[in-house]
Structure 1
């Protein structure tokens, strides 16, 4: 199994399988995007994606190579009920769809920042776009690194070669296919991910003696008694209520602010189709995320019952290790193809979002009279540029960007989610509140992280800080308080009235909710605003109290 003991003995098998998947993705991209002629085609696939395809694409975009090479390792090392975090993540698309996705689709938005521009003005949208470009690059960088590491450690290809080859290939097919190609490829990738993760896991469980091997995500109960004998506290909730609550502002609100997820809702063929797609999303993602937990369970089971420990350095390769131990090499090669597909699916969404943010939310905003042909050309260039930047950063990645993909959720939660959610549902929200929330909230979140000023952190606990849990719990309330309070105060300052567009804002909100007439009483509740402010103050106060993990 190679020099390090965890490689394919014949890496040619893996190379051939991965090469065939890339060939498939290129063919699909070419066929899907041949008729693309407008910005709407490029970023929203013409708004014609069906519910099933869109649901698979949504799930695939939310997957990442960390599902195969990362999360299972965390479960192995930490032995915690990681499924709690999965529950928060699975809520992403349903919450986006219900809270604002269908409303923004009704207005014809390409990205959430598009709505911010219409709702709060150009300056607020550029601030939000810059923050979101940073978040998307952090995401894309993580996937690029994961793909290169997969090539290096599992296929015997040097990291630099794997990074360049993998980067060029993915940039090529994503740029060629636009949103239409990315969507169709993402749907195919989700099928590959599901089959190449769940089916081999069933074979692993069968080899371990589990009778529920035919549906691994749920039927591992007969293995539990043995596990509890070996690791009595495996299923215990080892952390405080505060730790688990902190997942909500960090990951749930963070998911609401991620443009590459919201953009999937805008591709739906109808509002009804968008709602149906979220059901397929939750179903498919639930199966794979549950299986991920079981793969981690199986890894702990393997190490504790066979006496074959897996080093901390190799923990990220747990999925591959179990397949090398219990399955044949050609099956492991298919699993590697699934891992690469998981990275590609997320990466394609990141690059499309970067392209839209640069070309539509910044350049086209500053130069609104660009011709459609120029906008489309600029979009392709922006998509490719985002990929090139990710590859270049991955040559010698800063530690901060490598470890902070989940931390990026918190940045989206602080700078993007409050502006969108409040802007959709509360007419009083204005540009002054939005700018204050995004800029101050974003800066404070970065300052209290362990990556910029290590001595200024909220909890002082490496894991909560690194994942952005403590920082988000501290700053998401700040963003909501600033947005609501500053908006309320400035709306009542006579000198600022000429800078506000209350009538246009009210009309926009009514229109995106499907109303034909404006009713001043709708979406204008001060009771709800007060409840949010009071609740935010309570969470903020809780966040600065000591963390007893």
Structure 2
């Protein structure tokens, strides 16, 4: 076996492609800055983004650098059917819109924490802001490190210098443009990402002998017999049913609470636009994901047929393009990978700006002038990026799985408060705070990254946060619901008439208040029973 690494034959072609992309990003940011005159502009693009642009931006914000590098590497190394992972992730945005996104868009929220503040009060909002900011920094950290590595390979620079260049360049254009710039840049980045993934992979699959090369989902169809002859177990279900079920609490319920995804829904020009954005999101992201899985298949096929082992699996798509395609195409694929990382970083930083500049300052300094809050929002945006950049110089050992692990943390500490807060009028603020803090801390403790002697599950399932989420997510729902019933019976911070009227309004009932609406115990009882069953199942040895 010969070890193959990515080396761009002519680095200046790659440099020109990346410089051209950044020039476009800065131009979009500069033009967008002229539109940003209010908090609504800074955090929600004036609530004026149309469905196609928002669908593209949603997909871009969702599809991080892992789409081009990390997940393809996992498919290459583990030969696992990651299509199940994609399904769970792709469900998150439609569920976000259906379960609470349009409700919060109706109240013109900037972030999910805006709803938490009104629904449960300032203390609860500060708890959620802390969890979300932690997750956003972890998320941005992974992207910035990946971008630093990409620039290191592309420009043949030492990692630290590559990190400084890409970090400061990214912070610049995101800070300039606000949410308008982040939205239009993300839409453009999604187009770049999709073209860079799909078109070159079609050319590669054609050279590999595929007759379905013109469309990624079909690209490897007639190559399956050849793959099975080389790697018979490639398509096997390698894990038990619980492994796949654990994707739901960790990777479906977690992203529902990601503020940078929710903020994409809130920027929509109308509720109808928000719903149509989801249709476009599924279309664009599905096409990109299909290309990703095709790349993972092609990497394994390449190794099996040619005998060339890809030395760094996260460079699989780059190696394939250098091997099969002209240098200009390979350089454009590098640009696509860079765009993937930049689009997610932009969303992460805008979320931090909204959480700190609008939500946190709205609690601590409610009488502060809007323009001054905007200034602090810009400071928070830049500060969050600088923190992630500084951490990237000496990243935590569990960085590879930290982004996915953050999903399980959000599913535990934030998702129940959003879902129950929107759909159950009896949700109690103290029950929310106690369950969020306690279960979030438990999730951190039973992960393999903090106290190594206390771990639920083992290996990949524990490192990704899946086994921990199988325990803490149902525990969070049960504790929240049971404590709400207890506190309300004791008349401790029981929901008021105004709280119940507020729930009716965000669901579109206006001033028409019906006390029994969203007030039944049937749904909470079902949730408790289902959660207890999942909790017991999760406790069984993995």
- Normalising TM by the smaller chain, what interval? over 0.9
Matched, 1:350 2:348: yes
Indicate the residue corresponding to 1:330 in structure 2. Answer: 328
Give the C-alpha shift of residue 525 in structure 1.
1.1
**Offset of residue 425 of structure 1:** 0.1
Deviation per CA, 1:496-547, whole angstroms, max 9, x where unpaired? 2xx4442121011000001121101100110111010010000000000012
For 1:228, the equivalent position in structure 2 comes to: 228
Residue in structure 2 matched with residue 157 of structure 1 by the alignment: 157
Q: Does 1:533 align with 2:531?
A: no
SS of equivalent to 2:219: coil
> Hey, what's the Cα distance between the residues in 1 that align with 2:497 and 2:196?
53
After superposition, give the CA deviation of every residue in 1:275-328 in whole Å (9 maximum; x if it has no partner).
Answer: 0000000011001111101100000111111111223xx111001010111011
**1:304 and 1:207 mapped to 2: Cα distance?**
15
Q: Which of 337, 340, 343 is matched with 1:339 structurally? A: 337
The answer to whether the 8 A contact 1:37-1:376 is kept is: no
- 1:30 and 2:30 equivalent? yes
Q: 1:80-136 CA distances to partner (integer Å, 9 max, x unpaired)?
A: 100100001111111111110000010111111111111111011101110110100
Q: CA deviation at 1:69?
A: 1.2
Instruction: State the SS of the aligned residue for 2:398.
Output: helix
**C-alpha distance in 2 between matches for 1:401 and 1:440:** 24
Q: Where does 1:376-455 land on structure 2 (aligned, <5 Å)?
A: 376-455=374-453
Q: Which structure 2 residue ranges, 5 or more long, are not aligned?
A: none
Q: Is the 8 A contact 2:255 2:411 kept in 1?
A: yes
Distance 2:260 2:399 in 1: 18
List per-residue Cα deviations over 1:455-490 (Å, max 9, x = no partner). Answer: 11111x110111000011110001101111101110
CA contact (8 A) 1:7 1:155 kept: no
Matched, 1:510 2:504: yes
The residue aligned with 2:456 is: 458
Mapped to 2, the partners of 1:509 and 1:157 lie a distance apart of 54
- 1:78 Cα deviation after fit: 0.3
Question: Offset at 1:153?
Answer: 2.1
Cα distance in structure 2, aligned partners of 1:243 and 1:342:
28
> Match of 2:288?
288
Given that 2:425 and 2:495 are in contact with CA atoms closer than 8 Å, whether structure 1 keeps it comes out as no
What is the CA-CA distance between 1:7 and the residue it aligns to?
Answer: 1.2
Residue 5 of structure 1: how far off its partner (Å): 4.2
Which shows bigger deviation, 400-409 or 389-398?
A: 400-409
Q: Distance in 1 between matches of 2:494 and 2:522?
A: 23
Name the SS for the 2:418 alignment partner. helix
CA displacement at 1:173 relative to structure 2: 0.6
Q: Residue 413 of structure 2 contacts residue 435 of structure 2 at CA under 8 Å; is this kept in 1?
A: yes
**1:360 CA displacement:** 1.7
Match of 1:477 in 2: 474
Question: Which one of 459, 465, 468 corresponds to residue 468 of structure 1?
Answer: 465
Between the aligned partners of 1:112 and 1:443, the Cα distance in structure 2 is 21
Classify the secondary structure of the residue corresponding to 1:458. coil
Query: Does the Cα contact within 8 Å between 2:4 and 2:319 map onto a contact in 1?
Result: no
Is the contact between residue 218 and residue 290 of structure 1 (CA under 8 Å) also seen in structure 2?
no
User: Residue 319 in 1 paired to residue 306 in 2?
Assistant: no
Contact 2:250–2:411 under 8 Å retained in 1: yes
User: How many angstroms does 1:440 deviate by?
Assistant: 0.7
Aligned to 1:545: 540
Report the Cα distance in structure 2 between the residues aligned to 1:159 and 1:511, rounded to whole angstroms. Answer: 52
Q: Which runs of 5+ in 1 are unaligned?
A: none
Partner residue of 1:106?
A: 106
CA contact (8 A) 1:14 1:333 kept: yes
- d(CA) in 2 for partners of 1:128, 1:465: 24
Is the contact between residue 435 and residue 476 of structure 2 (CA under 8 Å) also seen in structure 1?
yes
SS of residue in 1 equivalent to 2:386? helix
Alignment of 1:130-141 (within 5 A): 130-141=130-141
- Give runs of aligned pairs for residues 227-246 of structure 1, distance below 5 A: 227-246=227-246
Cα distance between partner residues in 1 of 2:155 and 2:336: 14
The Cα shift of 1:357 comes to 1.1
Q: Deviations over 1:186-211 (max 9, x none)?
A: 00000000001100101110111111
Note the alpha carbon deviations across 1:244-267, whole angstroms, 9 max, x for none: 000000000001111000000000
Partners of 1:5 and 1:233 in 2: CA distance: 26
How many correspondences in the alignment? 539
How far 1:4 moved relative to its partner? Answer: 7.7
- The TM-score normalised by the length of structure 1 is 0.97
Confirm or deny: 8 A CA contact 1:93 1:261 kept in the other structure: yes
- What is the TM-score normalised by the length of structure 2? 0.98
Q: Distance in 1 between matches of 2:252 and 2:5?
A: 39
SS at match of 1:491: helix
Asked if 2 retains the 8 angstrom alpha-carbon contact of 1:151 and 1:158, the reply is no
Question: Mapping of 1:16-415 within 5 angstroms?
Answer: 16-311=16-311, 314-415=312-413
Which shifted more, 364-373 or 419-428? 364-373
Measured after TM superposition, the shift of residue 400 of structure 1 is: 2.8
Q: Secondary structure at the match of 1:108?
A: coil
